[in-house]
Every structure is written in C-alpha cells, then in structure tokens.
Amino acid sequence: MKHLALVLPLFLSILNPAVAGSIPREEISADAKWLIQLDAAQFRATKVGGFITTEMLERNQPAVQKLNTKFKLNIDVNKIVEGISSITLYGTDYDSPQDHAVLLIRASPDFEKIAVGFLAGMALAGTNAPVRVTQTQQGALAFYDIQDAAYCAILPGRVIAIGRSREVTEQAAKVLDGKAPCLASATAIGGFGDMKEAFFFLGVAQGFNLGNNLPPQAKLLQAADAGRIALGENANLLFLNLALRSKSPEVVTQMQQAVQGLIAIGSLSQPQDKDVAHLLQSIKVSTDANVVNISVDYPVDRAIDQLTKVRDQMIRKQHAEPAPAENETSNATPATAPAVLPATN
C-alpha cells in the first residue's frame, strides 16, 4: 500500500490554464506536490463511464447491503454517484501522503444537505451511533471529527473537505475560503497542453524525488521533474496520455529513445493477444520542447467487452456467497437515508 501511494502521484497533470476549467486550482493549496482529479459528471457521460455506473456500480448491491445492515443505514449508492460532480485528492508531502492528503468533493446541494444531516445526526446520537462523530463550529464552518480517523469540513454551497487530521483539514478550509495561497498563485506549475476530453488526471507539480521506491521498469521517471497522466474518451476510442517533463532537451531525447526501445522490444515478442498487439501498435511517442508525450488508445467496445467479463465475474462471486442470516436484517432499523439525491446536471 505504501508503494502504491508513492507511485500514484507520479502521473498527474501539472495543468496549464487551458485545463483549469476541469481542475479547480483556486481550491487547491499552493503547496500541493501531487494531485488527482476525477470529473465524475464527464465520466458518467462517456460510454465506458456509463457502463461502469449502470452495469457495475448499480448491480453491485450486496456489498452495500452488508454495509447498510452492519451500520443500520439506508444508503443508495446510485443516488450518491449521481449527486457527485467531481472529486479532487491532493497532497503536500511524499513521505506520508495519507497524512497530508485532502479530499475535496463537489456535489449537488441535496447531497450536501444529506451529508450535513447525516453527520449532525451521528454527532447528536453520541455513543449510541455506530460511528462516533464530534461536531465543532468555527464561524459558519462546521468541523466533524469522525472517530479520530478523519476530519470533515463542510463549506456551505461549495465543497466538502476531508483530511486525516484537524490541522490538514483546517488548512484546506483556509485555502477554500481564500485565506491561504492556492495553486493558481503557485509559480512552480508547468503546462502540458490541453486535454479537453479527459475525465481523469493524475500527476505531480514537483520533482520525482522518490529514491528507490520505484520499480526497475519505472526508473525512467527519475529522469523527469514533473509528469501527468490524462485518461478520457474521444469518439469510439478510450485514450491515455502520459506527459513527462525534463529540464534538459538532451534528457528528453534520451527518454524518448528509451520509450521507443521498450515498445520495439514488446513488438518483437509478437504477442498473441490481439488487445496487447493493438496497444503496442497504437502507442505514439513525440517530443515538444522539454516534454515527452506518450499516447495510446483502445477501442471503447473492446474496453466494454473486458468490463463485461469483470462484471460477470463479480455477479458469479456474489451468487456464490451465502446470503445474510435472517436475524441480521430483521433487527436493522434504517437511519436517515443519506443518499436520496436527484441527478446533477
């Protein structure tokens, strides 16, 4: 898990103004070293996103039913998904990203009301609640301590911020309230070009100073001082773009040659899998000033075929699991429904 948390930040956008519409730079701390952004509304509008939302999330109800039974809730995952417009996760540290990360959730007004009502209800229930929640007020801003494991700050009509400590969450709230420097004022941000069709970004705003935590296959990243991954859907193709920036044109050339060499080795192995062969053939490598761009596309219908197999495996696994005992569900009294939301525009 530690290695995953360190590798993930290697690939997100260092966003230029052309992409600023998707990335709310004014809501992100100027100290952010890495950033993950999911435009949930745009994702749901794609063919792949629509399939995952309707065929995988909506059909995967047993796990939610177990959660509802355990904590005596009445959660409707479908309405939660529809109520969220975008999610941003950023951090100001590499050594312990989980302790310095902030999650920002933008959602419909009804989602916010339900979140506030749910947390306030848990706080009022005290020790009788399935999860202990303590509420404190700081002006118009409400903070919720969720069992000393997470802190939640709700800025009315704007965003929900969640961090692992009160200090991290309060600092995020200051940025959101315009009382602390934001990413828009940071000068260390570089541009990688516009990716309007992308619904997912992942990358870093500062160097890849991760030492030996990278696997041998990823040592190429140490030659870069910033990078981005963008994932999206255009027409009938699912695309992924990796951009790596280096300070030296010579290093950019070396990086391009190294990537092209890896692709050639893969092609010479003559993979029997048609999907792998297509991916190798579709990889394009180019350079622009001090940036190496690596792009690959994949047909949407093939991606959905693969997702269908995953969905079918999930359904078979669910049917193979024993149903909850009768007395487990009969004694469960649903709490206030925290997820009956209209779809967002």
Secondary structure of the chain: what % helix, strand, coil (to 5)? 45, 25, 30
Each as own residue / partner, the long-range contacts of residues 77-81 (CB below 8 Å, 24 or more positions apart, any chain) are 77/339, 79/339, 79/340, 79/341, 80/111, 80/339, 80/341, 81/40, 81/44, 81/53, 81/57
Token digits for 72? 């005596």
Which among 67, 64, 66, 87 is positioned nearest to 77, based on CA atoms? 64
Token digits for 215? 């696997």
Token digits for 338? 């925290």
Q: Which amino acid is at 306?
A: Q
Distance (Å, whole) CA 121 – CA 336: 8
Q: Give the sign of the dihedral formed by CA 295, CA 301, CA 302, CA 307.
A: positive
Q: Can you give the pLDDT of all 345 residues of the chain as single tens digits?
A: 333 333 333 333 333 333 333 577 888 888 888 888 899 888 989 999 988 888 776 665 666 677 667 666 666 667 777 888 899 999 888 778 788 899 999 988 888 888 888 888 888 888 777 788 898 888 778 899 998 889 999 887 778 999 999 899 999 999 998 899 987 765 444 455 556 678 988 877 655 555 555 555 556 666 777 788 889 998 899 999 988 888 788 888 888 888 888 888 877 776 677 777 778 888 999 888 788 889 999 999 999 998 999 888 877 886 776 655 545 444 444 444 444 444 444
Answer for the pair 239, 48: CB distance below 8 angstroms, yes or no. no
Distance (Å, whole) CA 81 – CA 102: 20
Residues sharing a CB contact under 8 Å with residue 340, sequence separation 6 or more, in sequence order: 76, 79, 110, 114
> CB neighbours (10 Å) of residue 200?
21
